[in-house]
A and B are shown apart, each in its own frame.
Chain A
Amino acid sequence: MTTYTASELLCVMAARRLADGMTVFAGVGLPLLSVVLAKRTHAPRLTMVVEGGVIGCEVVPGRLPISTNEMRLAHRATMLPGITDLFLLAQRGYIDVAFMGGAQIDQHGNVNTSVIGHYDHPRVRLPGSGGANDIASLCSELVIVTMHEKRRFVPRVDFVTSPGFLDGGDARRRAGLCFGTVSQVITNLGLFGFDDASRAMRLDALHPGVTIDDVRAQTGFEVLIADPVAVTAPPTDTELAILRSLDADRRFLG
């Protein structure tokens, strides 16, 4: 049986989520690897956009970027617009889907990358939004990709850096957000959606070998369970080989 790490599993599941021809907003690290993997398998006509101001990036194996605005990302790109103008393309409606991680995620898909504790006297000061808030507000669809841990999956994030469904129901629309939605949460345990009415998180599929009890044990709130719960196909040898060739020194895959 093929073995793989949790990071590799996340990358593969996220890559499969992308359809050919989409325009994808990718961050650096695992999301970038997912987009490149999709491009090299089932979605060769993906357009990758990165917030530092790059459209149409390609990535050179072994020279993965560590920030969103460096030469490694500009290599054979099609355009380097200014950062403000790139986000305005998202506001105009040209970005289909975006990947995002976070320190805390709650049952309504809100993401915190700002502070653990109170904003003015945080217990842990995290890096902050960067473009995450803009991506969650402006792209047509947001996919959250993260490790599944109880301390991360909390009933309510300490700080809403990036809006999901806020308090659930139609709270997102009432706040004035006209566009976007959180369509899926991809973790190393399974795939999650959101209930149409309450906008509460729901387990839709488990990865091979994972049980519903495993998910409950690692989730800090009562997660809804789809009926039936599907089971995902494990990463293939081809998918894993491509990923490993991209990050041979395993700076991001761990």
Chain B
Amino acid sequence: MIKPGDFVEARRRLAAKPKGHRDKLMDAAEAVRLVCDGDVIAVGGCCFSRPPMLLIREILRQGRRDLTIVRNLMAQEMELFLVAGAVRTLVASWMGPGLPWGLSRPLRHYVESGEVRFEEWSHLAIGLRFRAAAMGMPFLPTESMLGSDLMGVGSARTMTCPYTGETLCLVPALFPDVAILHVHRADRYGNCQIDGYPHMDADIASAATTVLVTAEEIVDEDLIKRQPDRTVIPDLVVDAVVHAPFGAFPGECYGLYETDFSHLDAYAAAQDEKGLDAVREYLDRYVYGPPTHQAYLDLFGPEALARQQRAARELVGGDPL
């Protein structure tokens, strides 16, 4: 784990990593072997949008422990991390199962008991911590968080601006050991293109030491070269590329499939009935049970997947619905 803001150590670590143009296509199990117990993992996407679910399931299947997970807005995926016993610290601005379903039971259970620490920052502060790291700098200043009790939770500081004399909030660069991201398309070298919401993924990729990417589609390098303006993560920073159609499901992938809200409704209803045991059963059925990604998708069935694809096409067509 790199100390917050330690840009010198972060750069030293990069010096040791192979960065050349090479084939990085592999399966999820092989990619996740690059994750170690105790790592700080930054999770891409935001809330239900592009959560890298295949990589998350694989990290839990391989039984990684004592992780620090960083994500701007955490949702169902973090309940799985918590109940699987994989997490020591959460770094986030928000965590909930989604507006219609109230407070997160696993969050309440693990944080109120003191088993897991929730290091809360503002949403922008999380973004600036990744951006500072992506810039290779120790911190960024902001007008957010000043005067609030969030100043006392993490390692934010204040300084007097040398130009204006104003008090500024400083947030330290966050250099994750590993970034896990799901994108629309990548070539086998790791050049990544994202449609729709970019979220913080490009900053996260530059900030991390090791970068694991799943992609809906693996494309020929020639396609990337014909539209290089669409590439948002360069192959230089990527260490593993995994082919994962529906890799964010039951979350959404912009333009391709919508979040399966009926699945989340059922998941929330099961928790209302059985509490955390419902999450344990969910882990058995959806995470530990299916031996392959295809076996996981088969649990939902082709009709459910097709329905979510239709919903996505309706929403991003640009025509009034």
A: residues with CB less than 8 A from B are 28-29, 51-54, 58, 60, 63, 66-72, 74-76, 80-84, 87-88, 91, 114, 119-134, 137-138, 159-163, 166, 171-172, 175-179, 251-252
Shortest B209–chain A CB gap in Å is 21
Q: Output the nearest chain B residue to A80 by Cβ-Cβ distance.
A: B197
**Which residues of chain B (261-320) have a CB below 8 Å from chain A?**
261, 311-312, 315-316, 318, 320
Query: At the interface, yes or no: B149 with Cβ under 8 Å from chain A?
Result: yes
Query: At the interface, yes or no: B98 with Cβ under 8 Å from chain A?
Result: yes
- The contact string, 1 if C-beta is below 8 Å from chain A, for chain B 235-273, is 000000000000000001011001101000000000000
Contact, CB under 8 Å: A52 / B150: no
Shortest A241–chain B CB gap in Å is 20
Contact, CB under 8 Å: B46 / A71: no
B: residues with CB less than 8 A from A are 46-49, 72-73, 75, 92-96, 98-100, 103-104, 107-108, 111-112, 114, 118, 120-125, 127-128, 130-131, 142-150, 152-153, 158, 166-169, 196-200, 202-203, 252, 254-255, 258-259, 261, 311-312, 315-316, 318, 320-321
Contact, CB under 8 Å: A134 / B122: yes
Q: Among A68, A76, A132, A177, which residue has its beta carbon within 8 angstroms of that of B143?
A: A177
Please name all residues of chain B whose beta carbon is closer than 8 Å to the beta carbon of A163 when the two chains form the complex. 146-148
Shortest A169–chain B CB gap in Å is 13
Please name all residues of chain B whose beta carbon is closer than 8 Å to the beta carbon of A177 when the two chains form the complex. 143, 146-147
Q: Among B72, B108, B147, which residue has its beta carbon within 8 angstroms of that of A171?
A: B147
Known: A71-B316, A75-B315. A84 touches B124 (CB 8 A): yes
Q: Among A67, A119, A166, which residue has its beta carbon within 8 angstroms of that of B47?
A: A67
Contact, CB under 8 Å: B167 / A175: yes
Known: A63-B321, A123-B112. A176 touches B146 (CB 8 A): yes
Q: Among B99, B118, B312, which residue has its beta carbon within 8 angstroms of that of A128?
A: B118
Shortest B16–chain A CB gap in Å is 28
Q: A114 to B120: give the CA distance in the assembly, Å.
A: 8
Contact, CB under 8 Å: B318 / A76: yes
